[in-house]
Amino acid sequence: MALPSYATPIQRTYYYAYLFFCCVVFFFLIAPLIAIVPISFSVSPFMLFTDGMLAWPPDPEAWSLRWYKNMVGMCDSESVSSTVPCANKWMIGTVNSLFIGIIATLIATTLGTIAALGLSRPNMPFKGIIMSILISPMIVPLIITSAGMFFFYARINLVYTFTGIILAHVALATPFVVITVTATLVGFDTNMIKASQSLGARPFRTFFKIIMPLILPGVISGALFAFITSFDEVVIVMFMASLDQLTIPKQMWAGIRQEISPVILCMATCLVILSIILLSTVELLRRRSEKLRGVSPH
């Protein structure tokens, strides 16, 4: 928002100092993400800017898609693991992450939406206590949650199984859905539900014809947050997954510790692009939700 014409010199100084401070913070947050993109196209096996990349005009020989080809399986060398060849480990991790993330998102979105609808009722008893329990995975340190899940799932033989990993991710992702859908239900006009029931609509039809279209932006936003949470999780996977159950975060962590390679930066670049797309989608859904509720963005 621009300064008004009647702003005093002190107000102008404060305004421009505030903008400068925001730009500095923004730079320190974004600069590391921007730096990894050009390095991922380097021909060098080391994660650094080579002389050819810094030269002007740029040296075409210093740039290559070699590491992106390696990431998608077009490589000749074998990794140190005899069970997972170099040509497959990143793609296996991608497939596993997508499988776990999609299943966990569907379950978390369903459970979180149902919980949010129940918590939105005015006559819901112990609402504060139930909400605190539901969002506790966001508050408790992740290492403690992971250790607790490991010992709990070990008793029912779900450790080192995809079922156990998915259930653990559901527990972490559900609070994001609950919070997002609950925020969408703020200001929800319950008179529309009563009107639908007075016209003879059954609860099932009322939900899908009245409630769901209005809370759909919040549900989709919660699902996207749940997917990002599951897709990015590494601590739970380190506790719950076996050596052969690779995911992208686990493979990146192993790559940093064992075989530092620009392939990690290639995958990180892809994840940054995916995050930008998902966050842009969340912002568009937020604006659509405000428009449906008649709220003007400030």
What does the pLDDT look like over 85-121, one tens digit per residue?
Answer: 455 788 888 889 999 999 999 999 999 998 988 888 7
Q: Residue 149 and residue 159: Cα distance in Å, rounded?
A: 9
Q: Residue 12 and residue 113: Cα distance in Å, rounded?
A: 46
SS3 144: helix
Q: What phi, psi does 12 have (nearest 5°)? A: -65, -40
Q: Is the pLDDT of residue 296 over 60?
A: no
The strand pairing partners of 63, in sequence order, are: 42
Q: Residue 243 and residue 266: Cα distance in Å, rounded?
A: 23
- Closest by Cα among 149, 143, 138 to 229: 138
Q: Is the pLDDT of residue 77 over 60?
A: no
SS3 for 92-139, per residue?
HHHHHHHHHHHHHHHHHHHHHHHHHHHHCCCCCCCHHHHHHHHCHHHH
The per-residue pLDDT of the chain, averaged, comes to 81
- The structure tokens 């912002």 sit at 283
Residue 93 burial (10 A CB sphere; 0-12, 13-18, 19+): buried
pLDDT value at residue 293: 58
Domain ranges of the chain: 9-55+62-66, 86-293
pLDDT value at residue 292: 62
Please, are residues 227 and 105 in contact by the beta-carbon 8 Å criterion?
yes
pLDDT tens-digit map of 191-216: 777 788 787 878 788 888 888 887 88
pLDDT tens-digit map of 115-149: 988 888 778 788 888 888 888 888 888 889 889 99
- Percent of the chain exceeding pLDDT 70 equals 90
Q: How confident is the model at residue 81 (pLDDT cuts 50, 70, 90)?
A: very low
Q: Residue 203 and residue 280: Cα distance in Å, rounded?
A: 34
pLDDT tens-digit map of 18-64: 889 999 998 888 888 888 888 888 887 777 777 777 777 777 777 88
Residues 6+ apart with CB under 8 A from 256: 264
Q: Residue 159 and residue 152: Cα distance in Å, rounded?
A: 9
pLDDT value at residue 83: 40
Q: Residue 130 and residue 114: Cα distance in Å, rounded?
A: 13
Q: Is the pLDDT of residue 254 over 80?
A: no
Q: Is the dihedral of CA 124, 127, 130, 135 positive or negative?
A: positive
- Closest by Cα among 108, 115, 127 to 166: 108
Q: Is the pLDDT of residue 65 over 70?
A: yes
pLDDT tens-digit map of 16-27: 898 899 999 988
Q: Is the pLDDT of residue 2 over 70?
A: no
Radius of gyration of the chain (CA): 24
For the chain, the residue count is 298
pLDDT value at residue 167: 93
> What mean pLDDT do residues 261-282 have?
83
CATH superfamily of 86-293: MetI-like (1.10.3720.10)
